[in-house]
Amino acid sequence: MAGMLSTSPRLGIFTHKILDQSTLRVGIALFPGFQALDAFGPLDCLNVLSMTHSLTLAVLSSTMEPVTCKTSMTNPHVIGQQIVPTHTFATAPPLDVLLVPGGIGTRGSSQVVLDVIAFIERVYPTLKYLITVCTGSGLAARAGVLDGRKATSNKMVFHEMQALGPKVEWIPRARWVKDGNIWTASGVTAGIDVILAWVEEVYGKETTQAIANEIEHTRHLDASHDPFADLYGL
């Protein structure tokens, strides 16, 4: 799948050409109370990638109703956005990659949380890659797919994640962790770094740096760089 974006700062999005005709099928599993940047950070990187490489995207949830960032666990003054699914978990198309964001909505055992967990467990054997951000790794742990693997998560609630996956080898000091075909990221903004690290492995360094340039993001290249582990005493 190796392809290359021009790194010229003068290159506009309308001059991008498809360099790779093979299509990668991406899905993202959403639930009420997902963290917006957990989802939209990686998705925007993939939006840029799709200017030169063929991708499809399925936005998945329990129902076809719009999915909100807000939950009943937050105060009434909290704002949030909604995203409209393209498929339910029951009607999901075949996928190569599944993204699982975190957020307050990952807590508890509501039906939608159980639906996400069941979907991860069901679809993982058919995936090429599973990528989680923040407490999305807690959902993957509850699905059993992280058992015996290394993984990381949001450092503020790291001990909570450890309790959800006692068979997981949790790595406290990590911006992201790769174990086989599973990539797990630390909190929120780490989702951008993990998706770019994944893009580099699949599509190459030049393509990845061009995406980072286009979104004006300075990458963390060291997966073990994690000041938040110190902040939370891990």
CATH of the domain at 41: 3.40.50.880
Amino acid at 121: E
Residue 3 reports pLDDT greater than 50 = no
Q: Which of 43, 20, 2, 35 is nearest to 131 (CA)?
A: 43
Residue 2 reports pLDDT greater than 70 = no
Query: pTM to 2 decimals?
Result: 0.91
pLDDT band of residue 6 (cuts 50, 70, 90) is very low
Q: Is residue 167 part of a domain?
A: yes
- The confidence score (pLDDT) of residue 70 equals 86
CB contact at 8 A, 30 and 60? yes
Residue 154 reports pLDDT greater than 60 = yes
Q: What is the mean pLDDT of residues 88-116?
A: 97
* Residue-wise burial string across 57-93, b where 16 or more C-beta atoms lie within 10 A, e elsewhere: bbbbbbeeeebbbbbeeeeeeeeeeebebbeebeebe
Sorted by sequence, the CB contacts under 8 Å of residue 102 that are 6+ apart come out as 34, 35, 38, 132, 133, 134, 135, 136, 137, 138, 139, 153, 154, 187, 188
Q: Which domain holds residue 97?
A: 23-231
User: What is the distance of C-alpha 207 from the center of its chain?
Assistant: 19
Domains in the chain, number:
1
Q: Is residue 10 part of a domain?
A: no
- The confidence score (pLDDT) of residue 81 equals 94
Q: Which of 79, 36, 78, 52 is nearest to 188 (CA)?
A: 36
Tokens of 224: 């073990």
Q: Is residue 4 part of a domain?
A: no
pLDDT band of residue 88 (cuts 50, 70, 90) is very high
Q: What is the mean pLDDT of the chain?
A: 92
Q: Is residue 9 part of a domain?
A: no
Residue 225 reports pLDDT greater than 80 = yes
Catalytic-residue membership of 45? no
Catalytic residue (choose from 24, 28, 134, 164)? 134
Q: Is residue 3 part of a domain?
A: no
Q: Is residue 7 part of a domain?
A: no
Q: Is residue 13 part of a domain?
A: no
Q: Is residue 14 part of a domain?
A: no
